[in-house]
A and B are shown apart, each in its own frame.
Chain A
Amino acid sequence: MSFLNLKSVEKSFGQHRAIKGLDLTIEKGEFIVFVGPSGCGKSTLLRLIAGLENLDTGEIHLDGKDISKLPSAKRDLAMVFQSYALYPHMSVFDNMSFALKLAGVDKAVIREKVERAAKILNLEPYLERTPRALSGGQRQRVAIGRAIVRAPKVFLFDEPLSNLDAALRGQTRVEIHKLHRELGATTIYVTHDQVEAMTLADRVVVLREGLIEQVGSPLELYDHPANQFVAQFIGTPSMNIVPVQSSDSVTGAIGMVAPTSGFFGIRPEGIRVLPAGAGQFQGRVELIEALGADTLIYIDALGTSLVARQNERTALEPGNAVGIELDSRFIHIFDRDGKVVAAPQ
């Protein structure tokens, strides 16, 4: 029995159809990430679940109850906003206890719950401060603390790390992950950053233009993308895509049957760079990016620009001629509309 259930959900803003009719089920305790490019509807979907927007059609069921028409206040959900949305005139303690106070919970119980959450988030020294006196990272933790204290049925996160600087982002991401392990709460997390998606999620929901492209665990999406969009969205650098015709010499060379005019894709780690003359195809180095642990080699081949990734350093330089070999274990084939036709097992 699923915990959170979305059925035929649709939402339009005037002429713009933000969510075009989607279904989704989420199990209890799962960490779900909504990911997708700007404008795909992920935040809208989150806000529909939160009750901050009204559904046009469809239903949402939470723990067996139909919450589609309930106001946010009654849905037993907690949200961590991108800008934290802390109450500027209240202390950290009051921020975190506000919901409980409204619910008429006993003062002693409130104190205990807030202090417990503060301890988990290292906020104890700041309980009497106001948000003005806190750093960005601290404010973010208060926002999370505000949600934890309520022990809601589902936690909703709306791009919580976007406003942090890079170093803090990585650190906080790990903390959120640990928090989820500790609390085991059902969580929906919205982000445009696919690294966050890959590292935090139990399952990832990839959205585009109001529709779900694919749902699956991070590695499932990585290894078996259902279409070209997901294949190129997940993974950095993105999968190399090469347009092909069935009569191409390319298809012959890679030994796979391709549809009449489509694409094939291969991840950077699936391309082996060999000395010129060797391998299946020939090309020329455009650019080298030496990242230390990885080296990315941009090659002009097969009529397009490809990226190859390897663990070893390279002595190659831009302009060098090279040969490339495609590892058939990593080749995906897409038809003209981008749907996957064949993929590695």
Chain B
Amino acid sequence: MKGLFEVESKFPLANEYTNAMSRVLPRVLLAPAVVTLFLWMIVPLVMTIYFSVVSYNLMQPGEHEFIGLENIEYFVTDPDFWPAIVNTLVLLGSVIAITVVLGVGLALLVNEPFPGRGIVRVLLISPFFVMATVNALLWKHMMMNPIYGVLAQVWIFFGQQPVDWLTYHPLLAVIIMVAWQWLPFACLIFITSLQSLDREQMEAARMDGANALQRFSYLVLPHLGRAIAVVIMIEMIFLMSVFAEIFTTTGGGPGNDSTNVAFLIFKQALMNFDVGVASAGALFAVVLANIAAIFLIRMIGKNLD
């Protein structure tokens, strides 16, 4: 441990302190962040593990009986469990698919200059900055209301019966909301990535006789590959915790049609007040998230000098 903070590379400031100072100062500067994040990581984790093996109900705070794996069993055998997993995967998969495909398309469209490009970009990225609850209610009421909503009016205009999204297609409704919010994110990332595309390489391909589709498949898509991977992983991590939209609109229902794992845990915790079961579920979610995170970290690590 002693050698841990031995300043080894000759970066400018280190020169001044060739003795004790050079070991103390960096540690002192790092300490607050490291300590707080360490606590933030460890404390909830330890507590969650503890809760998951005891019986703990918020309504009866005094009793914490050790019950081993019973909580996990209960969570997993909950009739809502598998639907929640499926819903989570469907949500994840759909949103990722929509945002990546449309994101790439939009990024390509906007890549070359045209009149008003700046404004178009601004319009495209706006949804990402809208807070989740506004997003949810905007769609629930103004857009998706089966009588007065904009979508209903459009359906009527085309002579069709309006769809009651939230009642009959709740998961789809949530998917639309979340995809709308994250499309700008994917789009921005792809726009950034496209900007680093080597122009000369494209020109060389042009001269070699490649047409637009071939240039796209052989040059653009591989270049975007990394960005796409990053988008997928980041969305996987953040989308697993989709909560606010469900909470504010469908409440997970009807039934469990739009309940995902995060909402299920919430339901157990703050609606059934069963901390034990909810914690077991939380552990489950954490493990899932970590798997995705490991891949993302590795990819970031490669990028770090």
The answer to whether A and B touch directly, with their CB atoms under 8 angstroms apart, is yes
Residues of A within 8 A of B (CB): 51-54, 69, 71-73
Across-interface contacts of A69 in B (CB, < 8 A): 18
Produce 1/0 per residue, B1-29, CB < 8 A to A: 00000000010100110100000000000
Taken together as a complex, chains A and B put the C-alpha atoms of A71 and B15 apart, in Å, by 6
Taken together as a complex, chains A and B put the C-alpha atoms of A51 and B16 apart, in Å, by 9
Across-interface contacts of A72 in B (CB, < 8 A): 15
**Which residue of A has the minimal Cβ distance to B12?**
A52
**Which residue of B has the minimal Cβ distance to A72?**
B15
Across-interface contacts of A52 in B (CB, < 8 A): 10, 12, 15
CB-CB contacts below 8 Å: B18-45 with A: 18
Taken together as a complex, chains A and B put the C-alpha atoms of A73 and B17 apart, in Å, by 12
Return 13 A-B CB contacts under 8 Å, by A number: A51-B15, A52-B10, A52-B12, A52-B15, A53-B10, A54-B10, A54-B15, A54-B18, A69-B18, A71-B15, A71-B16, A71-B18, A73-B16
Produce 1/0 per residue, B150-183, CB < 8 A to A: 0000000000000000000000000000000000
Q: How many residues in B have their beta carbons less than 8 Å from beta carbons of A?
A: 5
Taken together as a complex, chains A and B put the C-alpha atoms of A11 and B10 apart, in Å, by 12
Taken together as a complex, chains A and B put the C-alpha atoms of A69 and B15 apart, in Å, by 10
Smallest Cβ distance from B302 to chain A, in angstroms? 21
Tell me which of B12, B15, B18 has the highest count of chain A C-beta atoms within 10 A of its own C-beta: B15
Across-interface contacts of A51 in B (CB, < 8 A): 15
Across-interface contacts of B10 in A (CB, < 8 A): 52-54
**Which residue of B has the minimal Cβ distance to A71?**
B16
Number of A-B contacts (CB under 8 A): 14
Taken together as a complex, chains A and B put the C-alpha atoms of A254 and B15 apart, in Å, by 57
Q: Is the interface of B mostly helix, strand, loop or mixed?
A: helix
**Which residue of A has the minimal Cβ distance to B19?**
A69
Across-interface contacts of B15 in A (CB, < 8 A): 51-52, 54, 71-72
Across-interface contacts of B12 in A (CB, < 8 A): 52
Across-interface contacts of A53 in B (CB, < 8 A): 10
Smallest Cβ distance from A4 to chain B, in angstroms? 19
Across-interface contacts of B16 in A (CB, < 8 A): 71, 73
Smallest Cβ distance from A20 to chain B, in angstroms? 18
**Which residue of A has the minimal Cβ distance to B17?**
A71
Smallest Cβ distance from A11 to chain B, in angstroms? 10
**Which residue of A has the minimal Cβ distance to B10?**
A53
Smallest Cβ distance from A211 to chain B, in angstroms? 22
Taken together as a complex, chains A and B put the C-alpha atoms of A71 and B10 apart, in Å, by 12
Taken together as a complex, chains A and B put the C-alpha atoms of A72 and B17 apart, in Å, by 11
**Which residue of B has the minimal Cβ distance to A51?**
B15
**Which residue of B has the minimal Cβ distance to A73?**
B16
Smallest Cβ distance from B60 to chain A, in angstroms? 62
Smallest Cβ distance from A255 to chain B, in angstroms? 55
Smallest Cβ distance from A58 to chain B, in angstroms? 15
Across-interface contacts of A71 in B (CB, < 8 A): 15-16, 18
Top 7 A-B residue pairs of the complex, sorted by shortest distance between their CB atoms: A71-B16, A53-B10, A71-B15, A72-B15, A52-B15, A69-B18, A54-B18
**Which residue of B has the minimal Cβ distance to A70?**
B18
Smallest Cβ distance from B209 to chain A, in angstroms? 38
Given A71-B16, A73-B16; 5 other pairs, CB 8 A cutoff: A52-B10, A54-B18, A69-B18, A71-B15, A72-B15
Smallest Cβ distance from B16 to chain A, in angstroms? 5
Smallest Cβ distance from A200 to chain B, in angstroms? 28
Smallest Cβ distance from B14 to chain A, in angstroms? 9
Smallest Cβ distance from A116 to chain B, in angstroms? 30
Taken together as a complex, chains A and B put the C-alpha atoms of A51 and B15 apart, in Å, by 8
**Which residue of B has the minimal Cβ distance to A69?**
B18
Across-interface contacts of A73 in B (CB, < 8 A): 16
Smallest Cβ distance from B69 to chain A, in angstroms? 50
Taken together as a complex, chains A and B put the C-alpha atoms of A175 and B15 apart, in Å, by 33
Taken together as a complex, chains A and B put the C-alpha atoms of A165 and B35 apart, in Å, by 52
**Which residue of A has the minimal Cβ distance to B9?**
A13
Across-interface contacts of B18 in A (CB, < 8 A): 54, 69, 71
Taken together as a complex, chains A and B put the C-alpha atoms of A54 and B16 apart, in Å, by 10
Taken together as a complex, chains A and B put the C-alpha atoms of A170 and B12 apart, in Å, by 32
Smallest Cβ distance from A310 to chain B, in angstroms? 44
Smallest Cβ distance from B11 to chain A, in angstroms? 10
**Which residue of B has the minimal Cβ distance to A14?**
B8
Taken together as a complex, chains A and B put the C-alpha atoms of A52 and B9 apart, in Å, by 11
Taken together as a complex, chains A and B put the C-alpha atoms of A51 and B12 apart, in Å, by 10
Smallest Cβ distance from A48 to chain B, in angstroms? 10
**Which residue of B has the minimal Cβ distance to A47?**
B10
Taken together as a complex, chains A and B put the C-alpha atoms of A53 and B18 apart, in Å, by 11
Taken together as a complex, chains A and B put the C-alpha atoms of A52 and B12 apart, in Å, by 7
**Which residue of B has the minimal Cβ distance to A53?**
B10
Smallest Cβ distance from A154 to chain B, in angstroms? 18
Taken together as a complex, chains A and B put the C-alpha atoms of A73 and B197 apart, in Å, by 44
Taken together as a complex, chains A and B put the C-alpha atoms of A52 and B16 apart, in Å, by 9
Taken together as a complex, chains A and B put the C-alpha atoms of A69 and B16 apart, in Å, by 10
Taken together as a complex, chains A and B put the C-alpha atoms of A53 and B15 apart, in Å, by 7
**Which residue of A has the minimal Cβ distance to B14?**
A54
**Which residue of A has the minimal Cβ distance to B16?**
A71
Taken together as a complex, chains A and B put the C-alpha atoms of A19 and B173 apart, in Å, by 68
Taken together as a complex, chains A and B put the C-alpha atoms of A69 and B18 apart, in Å, by 8
